[in-house]
Amino acid sequence: MRKQLRLSGSGGQGVITAAIILAEAAVSEGKQAVQSQSYGPEARGGASKSEVIIDDAQIFHPHVKNPDFVLAMTQKAADKYFSDLNSDGVLILDDDLVPNSPDFKNIIRVPITKLAVEKVGKSLFANIVALGVIVKVTKLVDFETIKKAAIRFLS
């Protein structure tokens, strides 16, 4: 059941935090999970990505080679990080911040940041909205589990 995910955007959007929460949720359900991250030297605005592998079996190599799911929260992230997406994978895009979809067959567009502003009042929570989308699309963890993991992490 190994699934590889890449969450990408720019610094300050919380993709690293979202990946940590997702990995912790998977572990709390008894799955194996590893999380890694990469970001530019800028505090905000630089390229940022975080990768998660979730599996029922032990994970010996914590490097994502061909992700099954890629979340892109900016146009730059979409252009940069989707290229090695599994051909049957899913590309999830923030509808407002990624106006030009890369040439890929399985794309889901969701107004993630807009929903965060409309429903919670701040774009700061776009990463949490993105987690909800990821859980809905991937079904890798239960929604209640991700909710509890987010509350634990953000408390």
Which tens digits make up the pLDDT trace of 67-101?
A: 999 999 999 999 999 999 999 999 999 999 999 99
Contacts of 138 (CB under 8 A, 6+ apart): 3, 5, 68, 69, 90
Q: Residues 107-131: pLDDT tens digits?
A: 999 999 999 999 989 999 999 999 9
The pLDDT assigned to 42 comes to 55
Residue (of 48, 47, 49, 19) closest to 35 by Cα position? 19
Q: Are 93 and 109 in contact (CB under 8 A)?
A: yes
Can you give the pTM of this predicted structure? 0.93
Q: How many CA atoms lie within 13 A of 83 on its CB side?
A: 5
